[in-house]
Structures are given as C-alpha cells and as structure tokens.
Structure 1
C-alpha cells in the first residue's frame, strides 16, 4: 500500500494531461476522428454526474468523492491478509478517477470529456471515468468470485467491533 498514493498521483496526472490536451487541442480545433464513424476525440463539458445526468446538481457532483471515501473506509475493514493486489488496484483506480474529475469541477466548474464512441453514440467520457468504470467492474467480479463468503462480507461491511465476539460451536 506504500506505493498507492504515488500510483494514484500518476493516474491523476495522466487524466489531467489528457484533459489538458483535449482542452487545448480539441476545444480549439474541433473533433479528431480516430476511426471514421466509430471512435473520435470530441471535447465537451459535462456539468452533470455520470454521463451528464442531473446536470448542475451540486450534491451529486460530490458523489464520486463520497463513494471513494466509503470505499476507502470499507477497504480498511478488510483484513490485511485478504487485501489482494487486485483490490489494491481497484481502490487506487477509484480514488484516482474521483480525484481527477473533482479537480476539473474545482478548476472549471465542469468535467472535461473527450472520448466518444460514435458507432453506438455512447456518452462522451474521459480517462478518469475509465478508471472508475474498470474499477467498479473489477470490484463486482471480486465480490462475486472471491469475497462471496457471506460471513466474511458481513464482517467487512459491519462497523461493530467483532474482535471480542464469542462464538458457540
């Protein structure tokens, strides 16, 4: 975990560099088609939550940070022996994605998006969004395949002190 903060910093840096490029290049010169009709770099500003939903709602704009804090607290409740590398990576990616988009909201008042799958007309998104989505998918897979033990999950998600709990066999 010692490397988590520097790694998250690098990921946030990559996100911010790509947004800087999008802001200085795409915003000025317009979209760039990578694969015609399939994928392009198209700058837009997003003042909503995920994919522009609920635009302008200040409370929902803080939702990713709130979720990141909850994930961090839950992560700390998992025994060190159960903290696998994939779980560390998920936590880092969620944190980096939330911070990357929070920086945009703090500096610009909106998030800069620029990755556009034209073929399916998917909402325009950014690198921080990729971190969050990949981390969430990986977390779901881990929950289903690894942390499926009901007793272990209830202990992780319980905020009671279970250290002195007596059991009857």
Structure 2
C-alpha cells in the first residue's frame, strides 16, 4: 500500500505539470490570492531556489543515485525501520522520480506554484514533486534527530 502512494505522487505530479503546460505556458500568471499566491509557468533548469542552472547531467546522475539508494534501502531495511520512516522515504522517492521524468523528457522541470511573502520576497516557484521531496526530507530528518526511525 505504501508503494502505491509513491506511484500516486508521481502521477499527481505529472498530471499537474501537464495542466500547467496546457493552461499556464505562454500566458499571464493566474492569481489565486492577490499579492500572495499565483499559478505561473516556469521552466527550471536548476535545482531548488534556482541554484546550479543548466547542470542537467549533474542532476540526472545525482537523482539516479538517490533513487537507487532509496530503493535498495527499502529492500534491505524496510522491516527494521518504522512505517513513518518508510513513508518519508516514499515521499522523497516519488518526488525525486517526478522531477527526474521532467529532466529526462524535457531537459528542465516544470514549476508553477508561486508565493509572495510580504512585499519584497517572492518564494521560488515549485511543483508537487518538490512538495513531497521537502516533506519527505523533513520527516526523515525529524525521525532521525528524535531517534524514532527504528522498529
């Protein structure tokens, strides 16, 4: 059941990116909440916060390494870690694969969620896969720091 969630993350990510391309690409941003949240199409050739732009091969290699590591970890240690820890790994894996598909297929990642925080700060534009990468990472780190990851 947990692995089905990973597949659902990937499918949700790809469907929302398809919608972003279809309804947002080449158009003005769609304002959801004035001066706070909008949907806008962005082609991100870098990583989070726009760092390391145009390093496609680097991101492909790193992502393959992360995917293989998580899958091997789940195969070998799944029974010795908590369900919550596996949940975090699946979220991270689903998000990584979602963005990996974009990098391989398009050469960039489609982002579309845009938040403005206050008057002077526009949070970097992101997507569904990014949400799960961040949530999975926070959950994994929290469980490790609190020593709550082993059965």
Q: TM-score range by the shorter chain?
A: 0.7 to 0.9
TM-score for the superposition, normalised by structure 2: 0.86
2:89 counterpart residue number: 91
Inter-partner Cα distance in structure 2 for 1:6 and 1:95: 12
- SS of the residue 1:78 aligns to: helix
Question: Structure 1: how far apart are the matches of 2:69 and 2:42?
Answer: 29
Count of residue pairs brought into register by the alignment: 146
Query: How far off is 1:8 after superposition?
Result: 1.3
Match in the other structure for 1:162: none
Per the TM alignment, residue 70 of structure 1 is displaced from its structure 2 partner at its CA by 2.1
Shift of 1:76: 4.1
User: How far apart are the structure 2 equivalents of 1:97 and 1:16?
Assistant: 10
Q: Which runs of no fewer than 5 residues in structure 1 stay unpaired?
A: 153-169
| Bigger RCO (CA 8 Å, 6+ sep) | 2
Structure 1's 61 and 21: CA in aligned 2 closer, same or farther, altered over 3 A?
same
Deviation at 1:10, TM superposition (A): 1.2
- Which residue in 1 is equivalent to 2:134? 133
In structure 2, the residue matched to 1:36 is 34
Taking the aligned partners of 1:60 and 1:111, their CA distance within structure 2 comes to 14
2:69 equivalent to 1:70: yes
* Structure 2: gaps (5+ residues): none
Q: TM-score, normalised by structure 1?
A: 0.77
Deviation at 1:65, TM superposition (A): 3.2
Alpha carbons 1:19, 1:113 under 8 Å: kept: yes
Q: Secondary structure at the match of 1:29?
A: coil
Whether the 8 Å CA contact 1:68–1:94 is kept in 2: the answer is no
